[in-house]
Amino acid sequence: MAGPDRIPVERKRRRPTRTGTVLSEDLIVTAALELIEAPGSSALTVRKLGTALGCDPSAIYRYFADTDALLLAAADRLIGDSLDGYAATADWISSLRDFGVRVHSSVLRHPRLAAVRASRVTAGPAECRAVDTGIGILLEAGFGPAEAVRHYRTFIDTVLAHAALDADVRDLSDGQRHEQARAWREVYSTLPADRYPHLHRVREHLPEMAGSAFPDTLDALLAQFEAQLTADGTG
């Protein structure tokens, strides 16, 4: 299933580049991902992509209408990669947890596409498969159609929001991450009890604030789903 901005197949002309490589959607997406994730790389442009592929930039427009369509195709590729080898089991909570962890980990491996992954719909084949898989898990668990859709939206938005946040943190410099951890350890944990009584009471646990809340949030969300299913008498 192609997104709305893909160029119809009949308009593509498979000509070799100056280096003798024959262009394809997959090859262009692979090159785009390499450019996006390259250290010090700025915004993706068709000109940069043409240079990397050894072709005239205009050739890329035979495959993608613009860089936005290309970014969505790249995001869809990463969704597919995250689900490689994935198979739901009879344990729907474990299946959904594994699904979420895979998506979260995939975003962290490609942090510069985190915002696209979190805010855009690719309408590509991988995302269609992912949505079908996630909703299918919830339907098999016993949720009705409306509940399955609502819970999947809550689930995937929660996963992607945490992934985007954790990707931003990972993209900080070593010094910035160290300073944040130091703040929780040496500033917040040592504030005077007379002015900050609640922080003082939990001071030994405040360094944990430097870590990701994703695992706890995911478990809490799945527990909420399970509790609703049990309350409805279908779990």
Q: What is the CATH number of the domain that holds 152?
A: 1.10.357.10
Residues 57 and 163 in one domain: no
Residue 73 lies in a domain: no
User: Within a domain: residue 183?
Assistant: yes
Contact 53, 102 (CB under 8 A): no
Domain that holds residue 20: 9-65
pLDDT, tens digit only, all 235 positions of the chain: 344 455 444 444 555 555 566 899 999 999 999 998 887 766 788 999 999 999 999 999 999 999 999 999 999 999 999 999 999 999 999 999 999 999 999 999 999 999 999 999 999 999 999 999 999 999 999 999 999 999 999 999 999 999 999 999 988 899 999 999 999 999 999 999 999 999 999 999 999 999 999 999 999 999 999 999 999 876 5
Tokens 């009949």 sit at which residue?
Answer: 10
* pLDDT given at position 7: 45
Tokens of 125: 């084949």
DSSP H helices, the chain, are 25-37, 46-53, 67-82, 92-109, 114-119, 125-141, 145-170, 174-182, 197-201, 214-231
Q: How many domains does the chain have?
A: 2
Please give the pLDDT value at position 17. Answer: 58
Residue 35 resides in a domain: yes
Interatomic CA distance for residues 225 and 215, integer angstroms? 16
Q: Within this chain, do residues 209 and 161 fall inside the same structural domain, yes or no?
A: yes
If asked whether residues 39 and 142 sit together in one domain, one would say no
Q: What are the backbone angles phi and psi of residue 22, rounded to the nearest 5°? A: -85, 125
Residue 72 in any domain: the answer is no
Any residues with CB less than 8 A from the CB of 225 and at least 6 apart, and which? Answer: 93, 96, 138, 141, 143, 151, 155
Residue 37 is predicted with a pLDDT of 85
Does residue 42 sit in the same domain as residue 155? no
